[in-house]
Structure 1
């Protein structure tokens, strides 16, 4: 995807951003809600999970980083202070503060690692159902501890394991 910014996009952004009232909000579908928090400042306050698309064409405006680049091109800044985040099913993501930083490794030894992190643009959070591992689909996690938890799924070790198994005879 090209991040080239056209003159029309710059004019559009200038008008939109400057006509927002203080604390006024702009909703960008599939990205989130931006609030005007200063004379030349927007803050991403609500984050929407990107919906999977059936085609490979992704609108440039589906990307938070494009909004950041567009804002910078007109002398604005964009901050992130996520108050609410939603998953791909439009369910509110709620992560207890005391769980931030927790991690677990799939007990079925597929190599999947779960990490509890705050929602942020570009990070896919997966909801754990019961104790089912999102990689191997087996009951690899303690259901009491992980059911309903939104996590980052690190699959890098899984690919290392798969590459090692492919080379064995």
Structure 2
């Protein structure tokens, strides 16, 4: 048996495939809202982010609005009776923070996100802000909110989410 790395295998496979001249246009972007929140730490941003309203406008909405004409944002849900919830609870607790537009961003973002209730209220706040987004012509943003879907678009035509 010959040992090698995945990178060596990848080089061999790349020679067998023609790469397209141009990538096809993106019609729909499906974004993981929780991953966006984890990656956009307001305390490490070069933009001045003091409140959750700042966070929504300057970081999250700015990020998603550049993702295409049809943007679907899906948020995690945290069920209190799940095995994951029990595991998280055994790790210890952090402070619960009431999330609204004027609430100041906590100094320790990771600690804030360790509380399921904090994440749930943050995701609901951000989903609501997304539904109020003034989209560009032809752009549609759909976001989960609890068990519902909220829509932002600049058209007067109703948008039915395709599931």
1 or 2, which has the higher helix percentage?
2
The bucket for the TM-score relative to the shorter chain is: under 0.3
Q: Which has the higher contact order (CA 8 A, sep 6+)?
A: 2
1 or 2, which has the higher strand percentage?
1
Q: What is the TM-score of this pair, normalised by structure 2?
A: 0.24
Q: What is the TM-score of this pair, normalised by structure 1?
A: 0.24
